[in-house]
Structure 1
């Protein structure tokens, strides 16, 4: 557990966040702006680690794909490429069995693994989207509440936002050069009463 806390603290420093210790686990300072309860944020970290472990332990999948798993509010987003439909399906099935996963959104495409150049373009596009979010002008909006995942020019947006915030974010991202498609995975905050 100490090794995990050190790794998470280091990851926070690399991301530009000063780490804080909550419940014995290091988390980035942006945790204080997040609308998810702390236990859900920690569950998301556990889900991502479990997904990575299952991916790396299955050579039949890892050797013929490049799949990333991102968890937000226990919704697991799978992005990347798999050489066959069977590989994509098998990994989605493995990921769906991870404890605490509420839902799997499978956005993996079938085809050759993205080149390093394409991966670099996606990383750059993600940073451009994050910069654009800083100019959304809505009272109380915090751009760190938006999780941005880019694969082959498709920008996946996750977070707990008000309907007004979600509309403004999508409108802003739509005009970022290089965005091919937007996948809206926002959940409504506050959640409607049931």
Structure 2
């Protein structure tokens, strides 16, 4: 008897998100007898901002590696041209030097420096941080109140940093979810806030004009 593997809805959403990066969602994905509808507002950054973030991250990592060398462990995360620095460096002077170097990169609008002057974290600690990030992200996917792909999650020494273009309401919901994950020591918000009206505009799909309509019919007539 042939066995058929049926993907669960969450797994299908994750697969769709991985294959269609940058698109506004996956439409009409059939999963067994279930149908996963549109995953709206997957990334609220403009395409230009997404491209710049990738460039900033690559340049930042290269400059930091040259500056810090083996005297620290630094993560560079850019979201909507805001750069988050996490990890460990030798001393406060190096922490300030890393911030200056990253701030000088073209396109960077702000730097949030969360570097700690202390010995580099262990491989086990970093592995645990990766696990926490995965758990937080999975919990966002499970939530019906927020769009998981609108958030960027970074974890360092048990502290979870949340980035994204979100409303105050979404940010508070995401923060509460992250705080409930085992192993999370603290949650730090690094959001770019938008209004509920801006969110509605992002997620509203314009209605198509009927085939019989025309510009002349749609526009008000000029007085004769």
Shift of 1:18: 2.1
Q: What's the secondary structure of 1:157's corresponding residue?
A: strand
Alignment of 1:1-194 (within 5 A): 17-18=18-19, 28-29=21-22, 33-58=42-67, 61-138=68-145, 141-190=146-195
Rounded Cα–Cα distance in structure 1 between residues aligned with 2:22 and 2:19: 6
Q: Tell me the secondary structure at the aligned position of residue 134 of structure 1.
A: helix
Greater Rg over alpha carbons, structure: 2
**TM-score normalised by the chain length of structure 1:** 0.80
Which structure 2 residue ranges, 5 or more long, are not aligned?
1-16, 26-41, 199-224
Q: Is the 8 A contact 1:136 1:168 kept in 2?
A: no
Per-residue deviation at 1:29? 4.3
Aligned length: 167
What CA deviation, in whole Å up to 9, does each residue of 1:29-68 have, x standing for no partner? 467621111000101011101101112223xx12201001
Name the counterpart of 1:9: none
* Structure 1 residue 136 displacement after superposition: 2.2
Do 2:22 and 2:43's aligned partners in 1 also have CA atoms closer than 8 Å? no
Gaps of 5+ in 1: 1-15, 20-27
SS of the equivalent of 1:125 reads helix
RMSD: 2.1
Distance apart, 1:174 and its partner CA: 1.0
| Cα contact 2:168–2:193 (8 A) shared by 1 | yes
**Contact preservation (8 Å) 2:73, 2:120:** yes
